[in-house]
Chain A
């Protein structure tokens, strides 16, 4: 069988696995919904009200959130890894998530001081505020990292700088939290553990649309992503405006990371593990294939993580970060060992 045919078969298998996981996400949880009831909710006339509420108000939005967040983080990771030509690059490792956290912390503190009220009481503005703050925080850290990257040639140095920036942002976040209102600190801690359940029905449309815009933008970048794999000088010689291109990659990657981080908290490991897994399965570095497939596998693994976090017994309280690391870390180790 040719490589292409193998890839297509794997792709079909992954899509089926994704569909299966999506439905499992709908009927596995603290309340297990029998398949017949689930079927009735979607297609039947006499739907059970409780089942309908659980499925439409909780599980469906959560599954859709997991889907988009998984795709977004994985693509953001792929963009970072290609940009830095470093397999360890990942939005969270470069301090981007910490930047988002700091943005959120500052916003929480400021609304506490200026508005004299807890951010969590401000309804729709609180969501917009948190998202915007996370986005601004993430982008600022990204710009800082990009500034450093033009100075240091060595990518290991840059990652160390990223880690330090990450610690710095974390430290500032802790200071902000110290001065914040109690209600918000609790909200911040919950936010920090990561969850796909916070988006909910009301914000789902906004969340999904924002992510789709970022995913679409990254699909348009495949050609230049392929060229910069050769190195900056080669890319420039082939007519690519490397500086502008790098800035665009960082913007899209930061945008995706920021939106997901804002709504779901800093979710680790998907961005690092999924691009590795995809490259390893499909044995290619062609971004015209990688970008869409990374999205797909990101969706599937994210659904899997959400399912595990929701398994009966965890009562929906297991932080998603515990699961992504548990699944992601072995993937990275396995892939790296198989390479050598």
Chain B
């Protein structure tokens, strides 16, 4: 099933498009990597697709409906977000961070009902951080913090999840753990995950599709296997060497 489709989407700030029109679509249960050099527009694309900034022109259809026709609460129930910036508060507990994912569902006072509690518990267990739930967020390692933010997004219970460089600043074993977690979420929980990353060798092992962007170039979406065989990766980024996995 198609979850997202863009039509002639121009992204950028102040009417200045930074990329040629984008026409892509996204199927349910896929893990998609967005790659490209710094400054190519990855963040801008993410912010546009998650409705934080408006597109200059063109449309974004989310589950068959224009993105900007959804209310902010509805959007919060459809799109989850994992960012590189992290909460920084002395006494913020892991449980509370994950519980904040229930925000679109809870009442005016943010009361956590039994059902919310079950979902929070399940999210902690899926990500494998149940043992951390009473810890203060600030005392965790970078990899653990990233898992907490993913658990928060799972508690948010959205079909689509965007992750901005989820594997940056994280040690190698944690990177592998994160990638397999993301893969598991798409295959077993039917989530659609789009993430940006510079860990090319690693991400090629886990993703289904790859979106490439480069300054001024059209966004190219390709199946991972096609990508390696056709040499398009080498050509797109003007690389001197072949990429082999």
Contact = CB atoms under 8 A, between A and B. Distances in A.
A273 to B, nearest CB: 15
Interface stretch (A46-54, A94-102, A163-171, A235-243): A235-243
Interface string A200-239: 0000000000000000000010110011011101101111
Contacts of A85: 88-89
A165 B116 CA distance: 45
Interface string B86-100: 111111110011001
Interface string A72-102: 0000000000000100000000000000000
B110 A226 contact: yes
Nearest to B88: A85
Contacts of B9: none
A285 B72 contact: no
Interface residues of A, number: 24
Contact-residue bracket for chain B: 20 to 34
Given A226-B96, A226-B110, A284-B93, A239 B88 contact: no
A10 to B, nearest CB: 15
Interface in B93-128: 93, 96-97, 100-101, 103-104, 106, 108-110
A237 B101 CA distance: 10
Contacts of A233: 52, 81, 83, 85
A288 B109 CA distance: 8
A189 to B, nearest CB: 39
A19 to B, nearest CB: 28
Contacts, number: 74
A151 interface: no
Contacts of A288: 109-110
- Which interface residue of A223, A230, A233 has the most chain B CB atoms within 10 A? A230
Q: Is the interface of B mostly helix, strand, loop or mixed?
A: loop
A238 B100 contact: yes
Nearest to B92: A285
A229 B89 CA distance: 7
A283 interface: yes
Contacts of B109: 220, 222-223, 288
A238 B51 CA distance: 12
A85 B92 CA distance: 12
Looking at A222, A237, A288, the one whose CB has the most chain B CB atoms below 10 A away is: A237
B76 A237 contact: yes
B76 A239 contact: yes
Contacts of A226: 96, 100, 110
B90 A238 contact: no
Nearest to A240: B103
Given A234-B87, A236-B72, A239-B73, 14 more contacts: A85-B89, A222-B110, A223-B106, A226-B110, A230-B152, A234-B83, A234-B100, A236-B52, A237-B50, A237-B79, A239-B76, A239-B77, A240-B103, A286-B96
Interface of B: 50, 52, 72-73, 75-77, 79-81, 83, 85-93, 96-97, 100-101, 103-104, 106, 108-110, 152, 156
27 contacts: A85-B88, A220-B109, A222-B110, A223-B108, A223-B109, A226-B96, A229-B92, A230-B97, A230-B100, A231-B86, A233-B81, A233-B85, A234-B87, A236-B52, A236-B72, A237-B50, A237-B52, A237-B80, A237-B81, A238-B156, A239-B72, A239-B73, A279-B90, A279-B91, A284-B91, A285-B91, A285-B92
The 8 closest A-B pairs by CB, nearest first: A239-B76, A223-B110, A237-B81, A238-B103, A285-B91, A239-B104, A239-B73, A230-B87
